[in-house]
Amino acid sequence: MADFDVDLFVIGGGSGGVRAARIAAGYGARVMVAEEYRMGGTCVIRGCVPKKLLVMGSHIRHELADAAGFGWTIANATFDWPTLIANKDKEIGRLEAAYTTNVEKSGTRIVKTRAVLEDAHAVRLATGEKVTAKYVLIATGGAPNHGRMIEGIEHVISSNEAFHLEKLPRRIVIQGGGYIALEFACIFAGFGSDVTVVYRGDNILRGFDDDVRAHVRSEMEKEGISILTGCTVEKVEKSGEGYISHLSSGSSLASDQVMFAIGRHPNVANLGLENAGVAINPANGGITVNAYSQTSVPNIYAIGDVTNRVNLTPVAIREGHAFADTVFGKRDVKADHVDVPTAVFTQPEIGTVGLTETQARAQYSHVDIYKTTFKPMKATLSGRDTRILMKLVVDGATDRVLGCHIVGDYAAETIQAVAIAVKMKATKADFDSTVALHPTAAEELVTMRTPTARHVRLAAE
């Protein structure tokens, strides 16, 4: 490999790129990572980590309200948005430093600049330096996409800017029905903002189980969040210190902020992909890769959101690790994208793994559904009007649990453990034979004995 400056050049210092760099360096590779913004990528800097911190902060409002039912009197509680943002920024700075230190400890060199492909084996840094590499890994992630350009789009913020608002908006309009839009809707509502969600589809959370979609919408509306479906924001105009959002339905909404969270696109622009001949997948706009994350150019690989496969940080990490094991560890390793657990940190939160009911019924001839909703134990004293949803999707022919869907407090923590069972192809009988842990909400997963629905797909269908 002496013909090249480095054995591996990684474009992007996010979670996936960092994991790949560290593992490759551990195998003895000479590695360089280029990151033009901040080490840590979307998840650490402007995604899941700061978002979860805001979720935790906003949920305290619920805790304060619930406290009275347990005998607590908490008078004159106040909230200061700038303090939260400053503390969040301090923690993100700490994590960024940790990422940088860990990468450098592995022997990898970090260059804080943009890198553009000149050909299959050469990248040009913004500093003017040219670096040749035997292998190149593209891990540039994704970015918010505002969709079509409407009048007044310059007034709209994305999730990126939402993390750095100087003050908490009294009223905010959020366009989008996916997890980012809904998480921020719950965050702002938790801090006391008047929140309206606008979504073009017939219901929020497209792609999730239909019972989950209906349950989350109901719970959000109980918390005072307005959800307007079947319409879009057509125009945003400045009005004094705030904005007026004009909807396709003909109505209009006044607010202090307008946020769009209608999707993200892979960061493929201006990377010089065409110089190296790297192909883009026309179906999803991401870089085309095979099961080993190899692009159309044999020595160039791509992982994470830039490939637009399963856009989750742990998946990008798995892909980066598998790439390094395969190329530098000389092991045949593929990242597994089946039965990946997912959490949505709405309030209440969602935990899900495996197939939805609709997906299962399309793939299997016999599908049994076990479903329950119930008031959580805490609500019996707090008086909060909320319910937990738990649902198991089971192959009626083999008894294998195909999917699990939970909406309620700690759903994400619960689904991580359930995902192990689903991944191991556990059966409903395995669930049933497991002793319940009482008193918990999760015990419902092993005590649901009778199907709430049984579906049989006829051969003619």
pLDDT attached to residue 148:
82
Question: Mean of the pLDDT values across residues 372-384?
Answer: 96
The contacts of residue 222 (CB under 8 Å, 6+ apart) are 385, 386
pLDDT at 194 over 50: yes
Counting residues of the chain whose pLDDT is more than 90, the rounded percentage is 95
Of 300, 327, 354, which one is at a domain's C-terminal end? 327
Residue 337 lies in a domain: no
- Which residues on adjacent β-strands are paired with residue 196? 173, 226
pLDDT, tens only, 201-219: 999 999 999 999 999 999 9
| Whether residue 350 sits in one domain with residue 372 | yes
Return the C-alpha torsion angle 313, 318, 321, 325, nearest 10.
-170
CA-CA distance, 93 to 112, in Å (whole number)? 16
| Whether residue 121 sits in one domain with residue 38 | yes
In order of 2, 22, 197, 354, 363, the CA distances from 453 in angstroms are 64, 49, 32, 18, 17
Would you call the peptide bond into 144 cis, given omega within 30 degrees of 0 as the criterion? no
CATH of the domain at 347: 3.30.390.30
| Whether residue 199 sits in one domain with residue 98 | no
- Which residues on adjacent β-strands are paired with residue 133? 6
Phi/psi for 50 (5° steps) reads -60, -35
- Domain with 35 in it: 6-144+265-327
pLDDT attached to residue 42:
87
pLDDT, tens only, 55-90: 999 999 999 999 999 999 998 899 999 999 999 999
| Whether residue 292 sits in one domain with residue 229 | no
| Whether residue 293 sits in one domain with residue 395 | no
| Whether residue 140 sits in one domain with residue 270 | yes
Measured at the CA of 15, the angle between CA 10 and CA 17, to 5 degrees, comes to 10
Residue type, 368: D
pLDDT at 184 over 90: yes
Residue 333 lies in a domain: no
| Whether residue 138 sits in one domain with residue 40 | yes
The answer to whether the CB of 245 falls within 8 A of the CB of 253 is: yes
CA-CA distance, 126 to 72, in Å (whole number)? 58
Considering the candidates 62, 405, 438, 455, report the single residue annotated as catalytic: 438
pLDDT, tens only, 6-43: 999 999 999 999 999 999 999 999 999 999 999 998 88
For the chain, the domain total comes to: 3
Residue 336 lies in a domain: no
Residue 334 lies in a domain: no
* pLDDT bracket for residue 460 (50, 70, 90): very low
* pLDDT bracket for residue 2 (50, 70, 90): low
Structure token digits, residue 222: 């109980």
pLDDT, tens only, 271-308: 999 999 999 999 999 999 999 999 999 999 999 999 99
pLDDT at 149 over 90: no
pLDDT at 1 over 70: no
Residue 199 lies in a domain: yes
pLDDT, tens only, 154-177: 999 999 999 999 999 999 999 999
Q: What is the pTM of this model?
A: 0.94
Residue 403 lies in a domain: yes
pLDDT attached to residue 97:
95
Of 262, 282, 311, which one is at a domain's C-terminal end? 262
| Whether residue 195 sits in one domain with residue 47 | no
pLDDT, tens only, 414-459: 999 999 999 999 999 999 999 999 999 999 999 999 999 999 987 6
pLDDT attached to residue 459:
60
Mean pLDDT of the chain: 95
Question: Mean of the pLDDT values across residues 382-406?
Answer: 97
The answer to whether the CB of 205 falls within 8 A of the CB of 179 is: yes
CATH of the domain at 247: 3.50.50.60
| Whether residue 164 sits in one domain with residue 125 | no
Q: How far apart are the first and last CA of the chain?
A: 57
Sign of the Cα torsion 303, 306, 308, 312 reads positive
Question: Mean of the pLDDT values across residues 43-54?
Answer: 93
| Whether residue 112 sits in one domain with residue 32 | yes
pLDDT at 146 over 90: no
| Whether residue 282 sits in one domain with residue 257 | no
Of 207, 228, 262, which one is at a domain's C-terminal end? 262
CA-CA distance, 357 to 352, in Å (whole number)? 12
Residue 304 lies in a domain: yes
For this structure, is 155 an active site residue? no
Residue 74 lies in a domain: yes
| Whether residue 130 sits in one domain with residue 277 | yes
Residue/partner pairs of 438-441 with CB below 8 Å, 24 or more apart = 439/377, 441/374, 441/376, 441/377, 441/388, 441/390, 441/408, 441/409, 441/410, 441/414
